[in-house]
Copies of this chain bind each other. A is one copy, B any other.
Amino acid sequence: MDHRAQCWAQTSQFIAQVQDIGDEIGMPYIAAQADLADPNPMSDEAGVPYALSTFRWINPDSEYYRDRKLALSEPFLNACRLSAEPFYFRDGQFHMNRASHLLSSIDCSHIHESILSSEAIIVPVHQPRSMLGTIIWCAKDAVGVEDIFRHHAARLQYLAVQLISTHNEARGRPRNAPILQRLTRREAQCLRWAAAGKTDSEIGIILDLSISTVRFHLRNAASKLGATGRTQSIQLAAGLGFIGAV
């Protein structure tokens, strides 16, 4: 058995575990997406959505997984974009194990109309190369999600990360980079300011370099990253963590 097939086999084991743990904790309705930017549902090797083959949903008749706005309700997705931690949904709000304002700005007022669930545990999965996925465990009625979350968040998160990582490796997407050359200090600095939208001449002023030098460093950085042009450099460097926070 070659490696890809092995990854697919491992993936279906993780899929089963995800459903099992959902049944165990009383939140058996599950939505999963390895890449939120992908309009297609997350599917197995044969192209069958896991939502068909394994995962159950609150309303079994709805092809919820085809309309991602319904399944992975927009506020849930946006919350995933902003949080690295797992969190849960109850009483129309997001919560986690600590006091946080990260998710307080998200408008949840229309969730109940689109997702027929009162309580849910959401695990965002931020991945290399700027890929973002999520797994959501839902309950139909109130099951005391706060306690469930406190006891199982760590397991759920680790399982979610493993499933999505394995699934991605099986799909060969994102493509794994063969080499990783070291970026010099100057190259990283120029990239960071370029990502902030600065022009070459602005970067030159900021770092006290001439335009030519800024161009020199950006060119070298692009070549090390295997990128063609500034935008792709930014995309690759950001996805590998070379750029960092604003």
Contacts and interface: CB of A to CB of B under 8 A. Distances in A.
Contact of A83 (B7, B84, B155, B165): B165
Interface string A169-191: 10001111111101001001000
Most buried by B among A7, A83, A97, A154: A154
A173 B245 CA distance: 6
Contacts of A105: 176-179
A53 interface: no
A231 B232 contact: no
A243 B126 contact: no
Most buried by B among A159, A180, A227: A180
A230 interface: yes
B125 A35 contact: no
A83 B232 CA distance: 21
A130 B197 contact: no
B246 A174 contact: yes
A81 to B, nearest CB: 4
A102 B157 contact: no
Contacts of A101: 3, 169, 176
Interface residues of A, number: 80
Given A102-B169, A157-B157, A231-B197, A244 B176 contact: no
A6 B99 contact: yes
A241 B195 contact: no
Contacts of A60: none
A192 interface: yes
Nearest to A69: B182
A216 interface: no
A157 B84 CA distance: 11
A58 interface: no
Given A37-B188, A128-B82, A231-B230, A245 B174 contact: yes
A246 to B, nearest CB: 5
The 3 closest A-B pairs by CB, nearest first: A132-B241, A37-B244, A197-B232
